[in-house]
Structure 1
C-alpha cells in the first residue's frame, strides 16, 4: 500500500479534532482549522505520496479552513491544491472569487494567497467527502497568470478532461490498498498530466502543453473510451480514431507507447474475453445463454467468441462455465461434509 491512514476512532474522543488538525498542519499548507463538532469529531483520511504529488482522500465532519495573509508570509510551500468534492457542500473564498461547491465539482487553491473554505450552512450536519491533490506550482506547465483566472472558481468534474481526472482520483483511492511504493512516481506523473490537461482545457490553451503530456492524456481518453464501448461490435481502430478526431497512424503511435506493445485489436479482444469470463463464472448468470453474453460484449457471432476464448484460456466458453459450476459444487459439498473424528 502507498501512504498512511488516519481514522479518528483510533484516537480518544477528546483528542480527535486536535490530532487531526495537527496532522493537516504537518502535511499541508498551514491553516487555522475550526469546527462546531470539535467535541465529537469524526474523520477518515488517507495520505498518498506519489513523488512530488500528494493525494489525500478524506471524509470528515464539517470544518472551516482559514489561511490568512500572515500565515502565507510565515510559511508558503508554493503549492497548488486541487479539490474534487464527492459529497457535501463547501463555500470557497479565494483570490477575490467566492463560490459554492457541491458533488463532482473541482476547484483550485494557491497556497501563496489567503483562503477561507467552510461547509455550506444548509449542509453542515452531513459528512464532507473529497479528494485533495497538492503539487509544487513549478511543475504545472500552464502559465501562473492563466491559472490565477480559475482560483476558487467552481469547475466541473462531470465532463471532458475534468471527468477523466475525477475518475482517476477516485480509482486511485479505491485501489490504494493494492498499490506498491514502486508505482508511486509514475502515478504522480499521471496525476500531473491529467491536472495540466484539465486546466489547459478549461483555459482553452491545450496547445501550450508539452507534446508528451497531450499524448499521455489522449492515451488515457482512448483507454476510457474503449472500456466504455466494449459492447459495440463496431469498436475498431478507425472508429476510435474518428471519435477522437485523430489520424489512424497517430492512434497506433499513441497505443504503442501507452499500451506497452499490445495492439488496439488485441486489447479490445482481451478486455472482452475477461468480461465474458467474469459473466460465465457469475452464479447469478448461469442460465444466461452464451450467445447473449457474447452479444453483450460486442461479439455477435458465438463462433468468434469460442475461437478467441479458447485461445485465451484453453477451454471453450461452455467448457469453462461447466468447470466453474462443478468446482463450486465440489467446494459446497466439502464444506457440508461432517468432520471425521
Structure 2
C-alpha cells in the first residue's frame, strides 16, 4: 500500500519516538503513550485516493490524546472514518465515549480534541476526508464525530466495505486518476454516515427542521451572488430576526454560514477537479471578486485556492 512506515527494523529504543513522529505527520499532532516502549511495534501504509487518503495501521496497544493545545498549535482540518479489522479501540470526542470492535467503523474529527485507546494489538483501515469536502456534502458534519457505525447495521457494513474497496483501488498500479473512483465513494460514505447518525437521534424540533430547510435552500443557491438576509427571509417566509435567531442557535450568522458553505464547495470543486481553475470555482459559488475570494479562502483554510490545483489525484 503506497508508502509504508514501520518500526520493525529499528532498535527497540528508537521505535516509539519514530512512530510518534509518523503519527504527527500522517494524522495530527497528539500525545502518544504505551505501557512499554521497548516492546512496541507498529506500521502504517499510506496511499492517496483522489482527494482522500487511505491508511492501514497494525499496532501494539497504544493511547493517543489530541489536546486543545495540539489543536491550536497544530491545526488539522480532516475527518476520519476508521474501519476496525481486528482489536478494540475506545474513543472519546465531543463528550461521547464509544468502543469500536472488529467490523465497526468509528468516526472522528481532527479539528477537535479527541482521545483513542487500544489496550492490545489492533489492525484498522482509515479514510481521511478533508473537512471542506465533507461540509460540501453534509449539513451535520459536527454531529458525526465521536460516533460509531456498528458491524451489525447496514450502514456500518456498507461504510466498512467501501473503505476496504477504496484501499484496494488506491493500491492498484494501473489506475492513473483516482478521482474517478474517490468522488462516488465519498458520496456513498457521506450518505451512509448521515443516514446512520440521523436515525440514531430523537426527532428534531420544529426550529431545527426549519433551520435545515433554510440551510438546504441556501446550499442549493450558492451560485446566486445576490442572496441577502432579506431575500432569504422572503423566500423562506420567515422574518430576518427569526433567521438570525435560528443560526444563532448553532453559534453562526446566516451570511457567515453561507460564506463557509461557499468556500467548502469551492474547495471540494477544486480538490475533486470539478473546477479546473480558481476563477471557475469562485464564480460557481457566487463570488464575483477573485481577490476577495482568495483572501477569505486563505483565511479559512490557511492556503490559497491555487494550492489545490497542484495536488495530485493519484
TM-score normalised per structure 1: 0.54
For residue 161 of structure 1, report the CA deviation from its aligned partner: 3.5
The aligned residue for residue 16 of structure 2 is 17
Q: Which has more radius of gyration?
A: 1
Cross-structure match for 1:64: 63
**Aligned twin of 1:188:** 182
Structure 1 residue 11 displacement after superposition: 2.3
**Residue number in structure 2 paired with 1:171:** 165
- Structure 1 SS opposite 2:85: strand
CA RMSD of aligned residues (A): 2.6
Shift of 1:79: 1.2
Cα offsets for 1:124-168 (capped at 9, x unmatched): 2x3111111112111114445x23333212222443243222113
Unaligned stretches of 5+ residues in structure 1: 212-341
Tell me the alpha carbon deviations over residues 194-227 of structure 1, each in whole angstroms, 9 at most, x when there is no partner.
Answer: 221211221449x97x99xxxxxxxxxxxxxxxx
Matches within 5 A, 1:181-330: 182-204=176-198
Mapped to 1, the partners of 2:24 and 2:156 lie a distance apart of: 28
More helix by share: 1
User: Residues 72 and 112 of structure 1 are in contact (CA less than 8 Å); yes or no, is this contact kept in structure 2?
Assistant: yes
Alignment partner of 2:147: what SS? coil
Q: Tell which has more relative contact order, 1 or 2 (C-alpha 8 A, sep 6+).
A: 2
Is 1:136 aligned to 2:130, yes or no? yes
Deviation at 1:57, TM superposition (A): 1.1
Q: Residues of 1 paired with 2:29 and 2:174: CA distance?
A: 29
**Count of aligned pairs between the two proteins:** 202
Match of 1:39 in 2: 38
1:106 equivalenced with 2:105 (yes/no): yes
Is 1:156–2:150 an aligned residue pair? yes
Do the aligned partners of residues 127 and 183 (structure 1) sit closer, same or farther apart at CA in structure 2, a change above 3 Å counting?
farther
State the TM-score, normalizing by the size of structure 2.
0.58
* Displaced runs of 4 or more, over 4 A: 174-177
* Unaligned runs of at least 5 residues, structure 2: 200-212, 221-314
Counterparts of 2:175 and 2:20 in 1: how far apart (Å)? 26
